Amino acid sequence: MKGRTFPPESCSFTAAATGRLVRQVTTHPAIHHHPFYYLPAYDDAMRWLVFVSHRGGGPAIFVEERSSGRLVQLTDRADLNEWSVHPAHDGRWVYFTAGCGAWRVSTEPGFREECLADFGDVPMIPPGMVGDAMGTTSLSRDDRWWIVPVKIGAAARLHAIDTASGTVSVVCEHESIGHPEVHPDDPELIRFAGRYTDRIHVVRRDGSGHRLAYRRDLARREWVVHESWMPRAAVGGRNEIVTVVWPHGMIGIDTDSGAIRPVTAFPAWHPMIRRDGRSCVADTTFPDRGLFTFDPSAGPDAPVASLVESLSSNAGEHWNTDHCPYDDGPVRVHAPQHTHPHPSFAPDGSRVVFTSDCSGVAQLYEVVLR
């Protein structure tokens, strides 16, 4: 029920493999998960930890009030797109899509909901479990611009919503649009994922400059996935996207010059960049070796440090490959995203939040870094 509060559920333990302090945030026997790996799970002041809980029978937005540990349910609706959730950086709102609209809910008592855009009778996102079917959204660091993809017939349309005025504009259209991200240092610059054949796109918010930032190596059948912007300060002021070339490591792509640099040969799966750009946290699979950190700006020989084991089930047999499986023909993908750890730094870099179903059902955890 919207507005319902739950007592603290957290408990702490020491990770056997690394000695790190780990806090289990949720314990209710239902699916829980935080936003997608490159999106924040906290507001900047870390008043709230935002997550999704299925304890009511379907997905609902919850927050943990970190000062008290109590859990607060913010939404109670059957049409929530659970991977669209994005907390505002100022902590006042949590943004999400539901049904055919783009919404936000206040974190203040009363938990008022506002519809910022109604897209009419459209499916919003295509069917499936991965990529554009997840319906992820992106909010600029100043909370002014919310970027929302919508499925329109055979194509997709990327929208920019002015959260101050409510104005909605179309950024661009493309065959497929998934996982948009506003540049952390430039609210005018956006990257998004197309299909595996033309994965990494960049575009200005006014629609100008739309181009493919990287052309995959067809001879190697590269599988380019899980990209993120690097903060400019960490890469000499350049506009750079770091991305996984599964399972061979990561590269950095200068989106202006096209220059490519090796980032790491470590088989990072979902890499999230800390706000200063000096650390990356990543989970692993096939084999699952746990969560690791390394400096993505230090060069490919930078040391990799073990953080904690997740012991999650990491569903998705299509990841057990050394090349892009879609090049071999149609692939049936079964990859419930709540089974993936998706590690994500807190804004102050003091901890990493991740999801694990090691207990038999997906719960939320934090591992303390300092």
- Provide the pLDDT confidence category of residue 123 given band limits of 50, 70 and 90: confident
Q: What is the pLDDT of residues 6-40, one digit of tens each?
A: 999 999 999 998 999 999 999 999 999 999 999 99
Contact 294, 266 (CB under 8 A): yes
Q: What is the pLDDT of residues 237-275, one digit of tens each?
A: 999 999 999 999 999 999 999 999 999 999 999 999 999
Residue 107 CA to residue 94 CA, distance in Å, equals 7
3-state DSSP of the chain: CCCCEECCCCEEEECCCCCCEEEECCCCCCCEECCCCCCCCECCCCCEEEEEECCCCCCEEEEEECCCCCEEECCCCCCECCCCCEECCCCCEEEEEECCEEEEEECCCCCCEEEEEECCCCCECCCCCCHHHHCCCEECCCCCEEEEEEEECCEEEEEEEECCCCCEEEEEEECCCEEEEEECCEEEEEEEECCHHHCEEEEECCCCCCEECCCCCCCCCCEEEEEEECCHHHHCCCCEEEEEEECCCEEEEECCCCCEEEEECCCCCCEEECCCCCCEEECCCCCCCCEEEECCCCCCCCCCEEEECCCCCCCCHHHCCCCCHHHHCCCCCCCCHHHCCCCEECCCCCEEEEEECCCCCCEEEEEECC
Q: Where are the alpha helices (DSSP H) in 261-304?
A: none
Q: What is the pLDDT of residues 302-341, one digit of tens each?
A: 999 999 999 999 999 999 999 999 999 999 999 999 999 9
Does pTM top 0.85 for this prediction?
A: yes
Q: Is residue 154 scored above 90 in pLDDT?
A: no
Domains and CATH numbers, the chain: 5-325+337-368 (2.130.10.10)
CA atoms in the 13 A half-sphere facing the CB of 318? 16
Q: Is residue 370 scored above 90 in pLDDT?
A: no
- Provide the pLDDT confidence category of residue 153 given band limits of 50, 70 and 90: confident
Q: What is the pLDDT of residues 33-92, one digit of tens each?
A: 999 999 999 999 999 999 999 999 999 999 999 999 999 999 999 999 999 999 999 999
